[in-house]
Structure 1
């Protein structure tokens, strides 16, 4: 009994000594944990609040655009950019306003909006959609080489077929039928992969290929063309 009693006292004394030496670290850890928890809850609340506010501004933006009130729409989009630049509503607003400009034939006003989406969107797919639209507009503007340099099929992933098709359109506009034929054939070959998730209009693409002297029956064995001008 005496030995057990002494052992307990030794343990208690060791615990007291440990506490005297480490109490500040223990309390510091508790305080830090509470601070992190509080910070996390504050961040969640702020994020939720900002998302609601951004959605409200985006709704105002949509309404103004539907009423064809471009000044009001531009002010709402400016608010989104200034206050909620990391919100997906900002990128969607840019895409929507760019479409409006394209419908009105104002390509020079649409391109910068889409370029901002390419640079700033955290959604990789949305950025690629914007990239494809910019390339088509550049072709419309006669800036064929800029369109080609913007579209790297090796980095396009699921958008490879669409990238190849647009590159083919650019080559046609430049008068390079051989290069266009290779791009269209590669687009059809890329689209054979059903897992890509991004489909193209095969009938239209086959017509484009035939227009430049290609054979749609040979697309299954088509090889990828070498990188065209503007590509590393």
Structure 2
């Protein structure tokens, strides 16, 4: 029995020595693990809370759209962007604000908002929509090279018809009829055969005539 007691005592002493050398690291690991779990839970709740708040602010932007007041719409969009710029609602709000400013003939403000969407939106569809709008504004301002630069950006095939159609508009405005015809033809080929938009492109092609 004494032999067993001595063995147990040795084990206890070894455990004490091991704990003295490693115990703080074990506690630290357990603490980090618990903090990590708590942090993950907090982050998920925090993100959900942020999304809910961003949704409320976006609803305010939509509400202001009905007022047709470009400044009020932009102010509401800016409030959303300043607090939740990384949310999915922010670029949508900026697109609405840009459209309102274009209708109010404030192209300068609209261009800033469209550029923000291009640089910050996580969804390529929103970025491509902003690029098309921005290129259209630049076309109206006769800034043809800048417009074409926007249209040179990579984009999904589903946007090719729209990009090519606008490219044809820019080239036509530059007097580059042959190149415009190629762009319009590509746009026509990419559009759904049942789309009414395709008829508009055909009219543009016909309008070019046989000019070189």
| Same fold, TM-score > 0.5, yes or no | yes
Instruction: Give 1:145's aligned residue.
Output: 145
Are the aligned partners of 2:73 and 2:100 in contact in 1 as well (CA < 8 Å)? no
The superposition leaves residues 38-95 of structure 1 with CA deviations (integer Å, 9 ceiling, x where unpaired) of 1111111111111122222222222233123444433322221221111222211111
Instruction: Give 2:197's aligned residue.
Output: 201
Cα gap change, 1:35/1:200 in structure 2, threshold over 3 Å: closer, same or farther?
farther
With normalisation by structure 1, the TM-score equals 0.74
Instruction: Give 1:157's aligned residue.
Output: 156
Q: Structure with the greater relative contact order (CA < 8 A, sep ≥ 6): 1 or 2?
A: 1
Secondary structure at the counterpart of residue 132 of structure 2: helix
CA distance in 2, matches of 1:68, 1:151: 29
Instruction: Give 1:64's aligned residue.
Output: 64
CA distance in 1, matches of 2:38, 2:186: 54
With normalisation by structure 2, the TM-score equals 0.81
Q: Residues 1-232 of structure 1: matches in 2 within 5 Å?
A: 16=15, 21-152=21-152, 155-158=154-157, 159-191=159-191, 201-213=197-209
Give the ranges of 4+ consecutive aligned residues of structure 1 lying more than 4 Å apart after TM superposition.
17-21
Cα gap change, 1:74/1:112 in structure 2, threshold over 3 Å: closer, same or farther?
same
Cα gap change, 1:33/1:200 in structure 2, threshold over 3 Å: closer, same or farther?
farther
Q: How many residues align?
A: 203
Question: What 5-or-longer segments of structure 2 have no aligned partner?
Answer: none
- Alpha-carbon RMSD: 3.1
The superposition leaves residues 152-196 of structure 1 with CA deviations (integer Å, 9 ceiling, x where unpaired) of 16x12222222111111100111110110111222234447x9xx
Are the aligned partners of 2:74 and 2:94 in contact in 1 as well (CA < 8 Å)? no
